[in-house]
Amino acid sequence: MCNENLLKELNELRKRLNELETCEINYKKAEEKYRNIFENAIEGIFQTSPEGHFISANPSLAKIHGYDSPEDLINSITDIEKQLYVRPEDRKRMVKLLHEHGYVEHFEVEMYRKDRSRHWISINAKTVKDTNGRILYYEGTMLDITQRKLAEQALKESEERYRVVIEHSNDGIAIIQGDRLQYVNKKFIEMFEYDSYEEIIGKPIFITVHPDDVEIVKDMNRRRRQGENIPARYEFKGITKNGKILYVEVSAANITYKGEPVYLVYLRDVTERKLAHDALIKSHKELEGLNMAKTKAIHHISHEIKTPLSVIHGNVKILKRKLNNLSLSDEFNGLIDALERNIERLFKISRDTDAILKVSKGLEMQTAQVIDLFLFVQNQLKKIKENAMHRDIEYQLEGENDLYIKIDPYVLKDVVEGIIKNAIENTPDKGLIKIAIYQEGERIIFKVEDFGIGITEKNQQHIFSGLFHTEETEMYSTKKPYDFGAGGKGLELFRMKVYAQRLGFEISFKSKRCIYIPTDYDVCPGDISLCNFCKSREDCLKSGGTSFFVSFKLHRESKKILHDELKTGITFLNY
């Protein structure tokens, strides 16, 4: 009996030993499992004493703080509060919370790395106590949240910048959900003469819209909600709290605000611009009426002046024939010549006026032809030099063939001759005129550059205005065409500007008044050798001058067609 009991106890003991072995194996496995978790966790895991040093730390914690190993961290940090915390009072605050609640979650603090650089850490920790309630240590995890904090800071700064921009914007800005105002800036309040934000937040946007335009704004909002295409900008008539009418330009964009789809709306007060535009339209209509009246008056004057001019011109010719056999003084013959020249000038003014009126009314010109501009200008320059043989001027022509334009040849002759003639009449003897034809992209440029007296800044703004005299009448009334100072009536340049507007080419100029004769009343002697200021020709060439630019559209066609059409232009040139 005794042996049986002993055997039974031995079996029970053996069973317990097996259970203990199994428990030990499981414990080691669990210990290994949690050791792996501890060693390989992304978060830094720690145990710290109440006095402020590390009891244990995993590799991630050491890495987070820039240490080579947990041992390096534990041995280096002997006072967590002073060595690790940027603001030591943060640890005191965390310990207080641990004492009060037993744990902390997402406690964010700024800490030092080993190299004393700063980073942000989020701490989850709890208090571990013995059976008597005495605190043994604190344990928990640390996570580096530096990137998140930097992003939050950047977002905060960005929001602050945008808030400042919006609040100080010169445009009214509103956020509208449905038809209700959810946010407005200071300028919006001022624009519609409200006293506070509370007066308008939550109210329909239509309280700022004049009854005349409410349906327009409602339709725009409806179409925007339905995803239809609407203008990027539109205008409506607004009304302020005090009943004042204003005109508002609107642009809007879809955004998300507090998780809901809304419209970010910009409103600009364009009342002054609107009123100015209306006034401009009214003035334009009035100006059109005045221009029509002026055109009729000029046409009437041109028509009325032709008959008496023809009579005077005929009488002068009869008088001249009768006096041919008489011996008259040179002075008297000079008076007769001057009279004929000025009668011819009046005839030319009449013809120029008729031409301008014809183009202005849109009357058809001659048939346009394809023309090689360089050959055309070369031919015209030859004729002009023959007419200006009495002038001592150097001409330089540069360019290339096969630069074609399509234009009425009579108009082109008028433009080329007029601009070169203008240059000659403003260039003193022994001076220089440069003429160039070249291509810029899809445009062909005809440039005439003189090194003459130039145009004063005051006169430059009126150069294409018509009957505007760039010189005193007395200075050119006794001159012949191409004489120095013979230009001045301005009709030729005005006619060219009208041609350009009607036929689609462009004309412009730039000018520098001669530095030695800065005003219209200063006189150039008309010959460089007679100038009191210029010691050499180069002095004159550098002193001033004017460049005219005429830009034509390049005409692209086959060489054969161009060659055939060019023959017509050459025939015209030799006409």
pLDDT on residue 574: 36
AA letter at 325: N
Nearest-10 crossing angle of helices 409-425, 491-503? 150
pLDDT on residue 564: 54
The neighbour count for residue 349, using CB atoms within 10 Å, is: 16
pLDDT on residue 473: 44
Nearest by Cα to 380 from 415, 407, 416, 406 = 416
Nearest by Cα to 54 from 31, 75, 34 = 75
- Residue 79's alpha-carbon distances to 73, 97, 569, in angstroms, are 11, 19, 101
- Residue 84's alpha-carbon distances to 472, 488, 520, 550, in angstroms, are 91, 90, 85, 78
**Which residues, in sequence order, are bridge partners of residue 395?**
433
AA letter at 69: S
Could you identify the residue written with the tokens 């940090």?
77
**Structure token digits, residue 447:** 């440039």
- Residue 380's alpha-carbon distances to 188, 206, 408, 430, 571, in angstroms, are 66, 69, 15, 21, 13
| Phi, psi (deg, nearest 5) at residue 117 | -75, 160
- Residue 321's alpha-carbon distances to 314, 315, 316, 330, in angstroms, are 11, 10, 9, 16
**Structure token digits, residue 362:** 């849109």
Residues 6+ apart with CB under 8 A from 135: 50, 99, 127, 128, 129
Could you identify the residue written with the tokens 């006169």?
459
125 neighbors 142 (Cβ within 8 angstroms) = no
pLDDT on residue 459: 84
Nearest by Cα to 383 from 255, 574, 102, 533 = 574
List, run by run, the mean pLDDT of 10-residue segments along the chain (575 residues).
70 76 68 67 90 93 94 94 95 94 95 95 95 92 93 85 82 90 92 92 93 91 85 91 93 85 91 87 76 62 65 70 70 72 69 61 64 95 94 94 90 92 93 95 94 89 64 53 75 79 89 90 90 93 94 73 49 38
pLDDT on residue 571: 42
DSSP codes of every residue in 91-153: HHHHHHHHHHHSEEEEEEEEEE-TTS-EEEEEEEEEEEE-TTS-EEEEEEEEEE-HHHHHHHH
pLDDT on residue 228: 86
Q: Is the dihedral of CA 390, 395, 401, 404 positive or negative?
A: negative
3-state DSSP helix/strand/coil % of the chain, to nearest 5: 50, 25, 30
| Phi, psi (deg, nearest 5) at residue 490 | 85, -10
The neighbour count for residue 456, using CB atoms within 10 Å, is: 17
pLDDT on residue 302: 62
Class of domain 37-150: alpha beta
Residue 126 per-residue DSSP state: E
154 neighbors 166 (Cβ within 8 angstroms) = no
**Structure token digits, residue 469:** 């005299």
Nearest by Cα to 433 from 422, 449, 418 = 449
Q: Is the dihedral of CA 416, 417, 420, 425 positive or negative?
A: negative
Q: How many CA atoms lie within 13 A of 91 on its CB side?
A: 18
Task: Report pTM.
Answer: 0.44
Report which secondary-structure segment, H or E, holds 324: none
The neighbour count for residue 154, using CB atoms within 10 Å, is: 10
Q: What is the CATH number of domain 364-573?
A: 3.30.565.10
Strand order in the sheet with 172-177: 180-184, 172-177, 260-269, 245-257, 234-239
- Please give the Cα distance from 49 to 22 (Å, whole number): 34
- Please give the Cα distance from 367 to 217 (Å, whole number): 52
**Which residues, in sequence order, are bridge partners of residue 405?**
371
Q: How many residues does the chain have?
A: 575
pLDDT on residue 520: 77
Q: Is the dihedral of CA 371, 374, 375, 380 positive or negative?
A: positive
| Phi, psi (deg, nearest 5) at residue 216 | -65, -45
Q: 3-state class of 517 per DSSP?
A: coil
pLDDT on residue 47: 93
401 neighbors 375 (Cβ within 8 angstroms) = yes
- Please give the Cα distance from 476 to 136 (Å, whole number): 114
Cα–Cα–Cα angle for 253, 258, 262, rounded to 5 degrees: 25
Report which secondary-structure segment, H or E, holds 545: strand 545-553
The neighbour count for residue 303, using CB atoms within 10 Å, is: 12
415 neighbors 380 (Cβ within 8 angstroms) = no
**Which residues, in sequence order, are bridge partners of residue 238?**
209, 246
pLDDT on residue 353: 64
What is the fold of 163-269?
A: Beta-Lactamase (3.30.450)
**Which residues, in sequence order, are bridge partners of residue 71?**
none
Report which secondary-structure segment, H or E, holds 213: none
